[in-house]
Chains A and B, each alone.
Chain A
Amino acid sequence: MIAPVVELRGVSRVFPAGDVSVTALVDADLVVEPGDYVAVVGPSGSGKSTMLNILGLLDRPTSGTYLLEGIDTSTLSEGQRAGLRSRRIGFVFQSFHLLSHRTVLENVLLATIYNRMPRSERLPAAEEALRRVGLGHRMDFLPTRLSGGERQRVAIARAIVTRPALLLADEPTGNLDSATGESVLAFFDELRNDGLTLIVVTHDDKVSQHAERQVRLRDGRIERAA
């Protein structure tokens, strides 16, 4: 049996904030199988980003267990978590977070360097990823010269160039107009059809409709999917 890509068991995250503490995530259980496309939805402040950051190994749960492809991530060192991040997880952020002083191609290449991909495979992989998102003709551009939709496609190319097991996206269409957003979502559908596991955080119903499963958060608690 193949282990689930993601398994959360009773995961909570408490932020100490002065005297009172904020419980952003309460006792969350979640299983995401390979090839799943999950939308995490809920109002602002409900804990969506907190959950995504834990899933992306950017943050650690206060309690509970997170297994990534069967590996208990709580026992790993920061270095091991960074290694896992670079090999198994791709990120797409709402505000793209491209490096503005590097070309489109270099931005994508960076991911392959941390990933320790063999040197000879890096350039072909980066070019291939950019062609896949339809930006084969923009490789030498600086991100500042691209439109929002194009920037997000570069970010997606950067996220998938390492062939991750899991793609995490936090409000990927939040900074895009609806037509451009739709094209990004169409591309996610394509990735899903190729077998990639996706978890997308959104408060937008149009986005969550693309996913086959919705996880609804309210005040840090998962409500059962409708």
Chain B
Amino acid sequence: MFLALRELSFARGRFALMGSVVALIAVLMVLLSGLSVGLVNDGVSGLKKLPVSSFAFEAGVDESAAFTRSMVEIDKAEMWVDVPGVADAAPFGLTLVNTRTDRGVDIDLALFGVELDSWLLPTAATGSDLSGPGQILLAGTLADEGVAIGDVVVVDQIDKELEVVGFVDGQHTFGHVDVGYVDLSTWQEIRAGARPGDEVPNHVYRWVTAIAVLNEGDAEPDVAAADEMAGTTTMTLEESFGASPGYTAEVMTVQMIQWFLYAISALVVGAFFTVVAIQRRQEIAVMRAMGASTGYLLRDSITQSVILLVVATAVGLGIGLALGAGLSATEMPFALYPSAVAAASAFLVLLGLVGAAFGVLRVTRVDPLTALGASR
């Protein structure tokens, strides 16, 4: 691999320039990967951590805003429990509120309302579980933001007070705000805008956002029939992510940028190696005349592009990971998963090679006769 290496060191400037472009693309790719995972986490980590198979929403609800629009009667949980293949079903409430703690910390919350005897009830990692109305169990990440057990969280406008009894483990978010679990009846009162001391009409306690459904093992209940019977519209847990505010648009935007990056990378690398092949025409013609086999010349050129791509991607990866570590520590929704980054890097190298192949294949088409000007 004598030639390829010599060429790399001889045309140092040119290859360094190309390498920098690939490295920069790799940096961007790492950042985008972190951003896309971060956005997903920030958008739906609270939903992901629910032990739920699907949600039955109000029939015909706008699917992109189901969690904020849907209103389902609480009795429908019983209808869903009886559906074959369904292990359990429970009412679930979700609403977004602005709050402030008694120590003056402003927090936006996605309130998840669950019945205290429900399988949906989370267990506290610190403090204690929900055990009655007026209590709240918060996302673990809030503990780092100046909220402590025993604080009182006050819901804006209605001045409803909720006592912090504990924290669930780690990040629980919905639509970029932290999750707080409350007792279902408390949730229903907040949702209805009832102030402390107000008389709450009975019908308030009849409505929830959705029925959370848990399937039996791998069973696939006949959802269409069940929806028909219960008068609901069901989405699987995954499908319901799209109902988190902005989720679909954000994920699609980031994915589109990623695909563009891959395409740009392949095209740029392809164009570069095509130019390199054209510039080396004369040289390749001489080597062919001297009896270099096509296989040898191909191996040589491919080695060259592999070295360029792997080294440049590795450098970019290093810079990207360093920048990413900085970003992870900030407020930005950013999380690096080794598997996601590794897959993206491998893909970048792979597509770069596809691009390079177009240039490298020109090598095989060099005719020693014409390129040597027939010795004239």
- Residues of A at under 8 Å CB distance from B? 49-50, 52-53, 56, 58-59, 78-79, 82-87, 89, 91, 93-95, 97-99, 101-102, 106, 109-111, 113-115, 158, 170-171, 201
**Contact call A58/B289, Cβ cutoff below 8 A:** yes
- Residues of B at under 8 Å CB distance from A? 2-3, 6-7, 10-11, 282-283, 285-296, 368-369, 372-376
For B374, give its contact among A49, A98, A109 (CB under 8 Å).
Answer: A49
Knowing A101-B6, A101-B7, A101-B10 touch, does A83 contact B376 (C-beta < 8 A)?
no
Nearest CB in chain B: distance from A193 CB, A:
25
Q: How many A-B residue pairs have CB under 8 A?
A: 76
**Contact call B368/A58, Cβ cutoff below 8 A:** yes
Nearest CB in chain B: distance from A51 CB, A:
11
Chain A positions within 8 Å of B7 at CB level: 101
With the chains together, A179 CA to B369 CA distance in Å?
29
**Contact call B369/A59, Cβ cutoff below 8 A:** yes
B interface SS class: helix
**Contact call A85/B291, Cβ cutoff below 8 A:** yes
Q: A52-B375, A99-B287, A101-B6 are in contact. List 6 more A-B contacts (CB 8 A).
A: A56-B289, A83-B293, A84-B291, A93-B372, A110-B287, A114-B287
Closest to A56 in B: B289
Closest to B283 in A: A99
With the chains together, A52 CA to B368 CA distance in Å?
13
Knowing A97-B282, A101-B6 touch, does A114 contact B376 (C-beta < 8 A)?
no
Chain B positions within 8 Å of A110 at CB level: 3, 287, 290
With the chains together, A224 CA to B334 CA distance in Å?
85
Nearest CB in chain B: distance from A30 CB, A:
19
Chain A positions within 8 Å of B10 at CB level: 101
**Contact call B291/A83, Cβ cutoff below 8 A:** yes
Closest to B367 in A: A58
- 7 interchain pairs (CB within 8 A)? A49-B376, A53-B369, A97-B285, A99-B286, A101-B6, A114-B293, A170-B375
Knowing A58-B368, A101-B7 touch, does A53 contact B287 (C-beta < 8 A)?
no
**Contact call A82/B292, Cβ cutoff below 8 A:** yes
**Contact call A79/B293, Cβ cutoff below 8 A:** yes
With the chains together, A69 CA to B302 CA distance in Å?
35
With the chains together, A183 CA to B155 CA distance in Å?
101
